Amino acid sequence: MTGAATRQGQKGLRRIMAVAGMSVLQAGADLQTEFPRVDRFLDSEIATRALACALELGLIDRLAGSPTLAKDGLAAEYGIVSERFGCLADLLIGAGVLAEVGDARLALTDDFSAVLPFRDLIDAKIGFAMIAAEDLRGQFNAFLTDLPAFMAESRTFELFRYDRCFEARPDNIAATRRWVSYTTCLTRYEAGPCLDRIDLGGHSRMLDLGGNSGEFASQACRRAPHLQATVVDLPVVCRLGRDHLAGRAEAERVTFHAADMRRDPLPAGHDLVTFKSVLHDWPAADARLLLERAIGALAPGGRLVIYERAPMPLRERALGFSQMADLVFQPFFRDAGLYMESLTAFGLCGARHRVLDLGTPFHLIDARKPAEIPVAPPAQARR
């Protein structure tokens, strides 16, 4: 990875970590129900780098606080020669971030102003796309021809070190916080489109397997005040999750259960079991095993929900720069067949499959576990 790309990717991740504890829910805003469409401003690498530069300089914040500002005055304020500042401004105008108003004055466009409140998501996508794109730039042939070699050398997969999630040492906590902050930011905005399509009112106890920082479970509890949730994840992730939810009203109803969900006993007695962006991490045999174990922990009559990224339709259009973050994981995204077939094979009924468009497609699958049929007592006992 080049030094400049490394620095920009790291700065993006540091910005994510800085806001990791501040969600739209904590800020007292309404529940986020639709996924913010920020990718359109990150369509090309150069547009993304221009926006990253403008954010880092403080230019975007400066313009957000004023209707319009003179281009020459801004160039002088940031100590950039007029021609070079004009280059930056033109790139941002071409990307739809800025508009030139009147006599050489700049303003944020209405479309960009509408997504600016989701600054944490913009930072997250920029930071992670920089890292993923550099991996693909340097090792694209290996990505296509030798995936294990690509994974072994990539910064992307070095970030997701689950082996560092068992022992709560300072170095493991710091390393795990980097990717937990990123996935938490995504879940902050991905949760709503799923949870608003589930009848949470029909459930009282939720088990979120691989539930990360508890963001998904917390948002479910926010929507259903009677709901109690248990988040199962590895010990270091659970520790970070407790910190993440500290201070939220829902924190009292979210319990973290540190365990390896592939091997350790799962808490029982839950009538809603969820997987959010978890199953693609595992080979098919492991994914089936996790589903079987989840169904075993599900109460009779309860519901299991799978909310997973689907393969991107690569033929439809050229990918934008921000989608490099999904492309590196494309080999692991599955069609719905394995999930639907497994649920049926393990005895669930009424399986439904929907596809949600969040810039990248998501599977939303749910099915019910049959209720137990009461066994009639022997005839002699009824006398």
pLDDT of residue 31: 52
CB 328 within 8 A of CB 128: no
pLDDT tens digit sequence for 94-147: 999 999 998 899 999 999 999 999 999 999 999 999 999 999 999 999 999 999
Task: Determine the Cα–Cα distance for residues 202 and 191; give it in Å rounded to an integer.
Answer: 18
**CA separation (Å) from 160 to 328, 341, 363?**
13, 29, 22
Sequence length of the chain is: 383
Which candidate, 206, 211, 208, places its Cα nearest to that of 180? 211
CB 256 within 8 A of CB 241: yes
Q: What value does the mean pLDDT take over residues 193-204? A: 94
pTM above 0.85, yes or no: yes
Residue type, 15: R
Which candidate, 18, 23, 13, places its Cα nearest to that of 218? 23
pLDDT tens digit sequence for 299-330: 999 999 999 999 999 999 999 999 999 999 99
**Distant-in-sequence contacts of 56-60, Cβ < 8 A, 24+ apart:** 56/11, 59/88, 60/97, 60/108, 60/116
What are the structural domains, with CATH classification, of the chain? 3-122 (1.10.10.10), 168-368 (3.40.50.150)
pLDDT of residue 34: 74
Residue type, 242: R
**CA separation (Å) from 163 to 159, 176, 268?**
11, 10, 26
Angle, helix 215-223 to helix 170-195, in steps of 10 degrees: 40
